[in-house]
Amino acid sequence: MERRWKDQLYQEFARIGKCLSSPKRLEIIDLLAQGPKSVDLISKNTGMSVANVSQHLQTLLEARLVQFTKKGNYVIYELADLSVADFMVSLHRLGENQLVEIQRMKRDILQLHKSMEPISLEVLMDRMERGEVLLIDVRPTAEYEKAHIPGAVSTPIDDLEKHLSSLPDDQDIVAYCRGPYCLMAARAVEIMKEKGLNAFRIEEGVHEWHRFANQEALLEQ
């Protein structure tokens, strides 16, 4: 009886493992961690056809990692639970710790984007509390409205050029986007530096920030 129970248990766990074996499905989960999106928007962001996106979403749906609602003619997908986003944060950290290929890829991209060298969350939190930095969220507005780091100002990367004149030239500006493998913040920093602004980035996104903030709160108790 116990053996059969364990076999069934791990078979259910394996359903999720099998679902996550696709690189494209992992990318879709990372994208949906930023907020709900239509199939068309996921297709645009991932470079996949609508048909391929739909197939991957069906697999994720069967594993109960995503859910959907209908708005008019659109089907909107989102993560079924925040624990899915938490799992992805843990997967990112595990991958970086255990796979030298990921470490090498991060070093390679840092060589291409010198401005990508990030500041730490500890430094950012301390400087924000003292009012020394302006934090900007360069993700699309809809993602900012779904969730953002407290105190951040929405400044989508596509609109950044229009807002450059209103950004302070006597204060450090810190940009963030979708997490450690998103390059929008790096591009934003490069644009701002070209205009003579003191710009930096954090590599973490909203979910990493909240995990860090929760850990800090527990340490203070």
Considering the candidates 28, 177, 202, 206, report the single residue annotated as catalytic: 177
Give residue 217's pLDDT.
Answer: 62
- pLDDT, tens digit, 9 for 90 and up, residues 33-73: 999 999 999 999 999 999 999 999 999 999 999 999 998 88
State how far the alpha carbon of 157 is from the alpha carbons of 167, 173, 185, in Å.
14, 14, 8
Give the domains, in start order, of the chain with CATH numbers: 2-85 (1.10.10.10), 103-220 (3.40.250.10)
- Res 1: pLDDT: 79
Inter-residue contact 157 to 137 (CB < 8 Å): no
Task: Please confirm, yes or no, whether 177 is among the known catalytic residues.
Answer: yes
Distance CA 115, CA 69 (A): 40
Which neighbouring-strand residues pair with 135?
A: 174
Give the pLDDT score at 83.
94
Q: Indicate whether 220 pLDDT > 70.
A: no
> Positive or negative CA dihedral for 142, 84, 208, 114?
negative
Pairing of strands 153-154, 172-176: unpaired
pLDDT averaged over every residue in the chain: 92
pTM over 0.85: yes
pLDDT tens, position by position, 6-31: 999 999 999 999 999 999 999 999 99
